[in-house]
Structure 1
Amino acid sequence: MHKPAPARRRRGRPTGGASDARADILAAATAEFGELGYDGATIRSIADRAGADPALVHHYFGTKSDLFAAVVDVPVNPARALHAAIGTDLDTAGERIVRFVLELWDERAFRQRGVALLRGVIGSRRTSSLVMGFLSRELINRIGERVGGPDGHKRAALVASQIVGMIVLRYVVELEPIASAPVDELVTRVGPNVQRYLTGPLSDPTPGEGTDRRQGE
């Protein structure tokens, strides 16, 4: 992602071919995301840096989240795919989300790039800020809106914590037995917890309940 920032060009249709225009937009997006973060960069500012019309950016890359996925070089836009995995029935989405994540990361091409990106997040404040901006805007905020209610954002953040933790343990740290567990087993074990975060009770344990239980043992 750390490419030299391209010089801002005069706005208008690029004079080169389609491949040149696409490359110019991608380079401009890399620079804009790097300088302004995910929230600060816009399709218009990226188009302006590339010397292109915003419609051309949409033509080649779709939405800003699609463009970001192209910049970080992952073969699937995780935000778009996860929304599809949630589906129309939120009450049964927990296991679908876990299965989608595991099957996506089990694909070699995605896993290699995803692991490299996560290691970059851990080791670089700049990369961490950029990726967290994307996750907050495109995943947590949107899932929170879908869940709704006063605690929708909290529920979405809890889902993200569960999923990211599972990804790190299985694919980055490769901690056993999580690393080699069958997908079906993890779906069965982790899915209900994700479902509880989505639609179940989030109330705290009754005060003193844990202490009383320990004293009675």
Structure 2
Amino acid sequence: MTEKKPTVRKRRSSEDLRDEIVRAAAVEYSLYGFDGATTAAIAKRARSTEAQIFRYFSSKAELFRAAVLQPLDEHLQTFTARSAGPPDGPVSLEREAERYVTELLDFLREHERMFFSLITADVRGVAGVADVDALHEYFAHGAAMTRMRQSPSEKISPDLMVRISFAAVLGCVMFREWLFPKELSDDEMVRKAVIRFVLDGIYAPPFAPGEAQ
């Protein structure tokens, strides 16, 4: 009988180990939030030690920035650049709203765990949503596009409109199990309702003189 040779684990480079720690941290933060994720659990998932974690990152907050903030910022920059592309030919306002909501829903669902981590971090005063530079760029771009489509008599502030629309879509993704009973949880039903909500905001009548905006 041939003796089975022991498996020799390939030694990881410093870069590979750092990347594995970041991936493990992203999972732990998404599952348990900033407070619930421990460096001990992150080290175990990354097959490393806490000492190795702090060799690369000076604090748990710095690791959070590398594992959650930076990747989300990059993803959002890519999404903003892609969604900013001109449509193929003339497109109605309804079709633009449909495109906006559909692409945003898909993006938020894809990165739901990262947004959950950011929200829980914000609650604890750690770097969170407000520190995602690309999100502010996204809002600025969306407000600029809205201004181009509005009549001179402004209805709702574009800066406010783009944030409210984003919050509505984000809420439908992040809190769908809380908000929607089974008979209202169909993805297509929710998508169409959000599109209608956005269009209602765009078509809203102008503010009356002296009315708060």
Instruction: Give the greater-gyration-radius structure (CA).
Output: 2
TM-score of the superposition, structure 1-length normalised? Answer: 0.48
> Structure 2 length normalisation: TM-score?
0.49
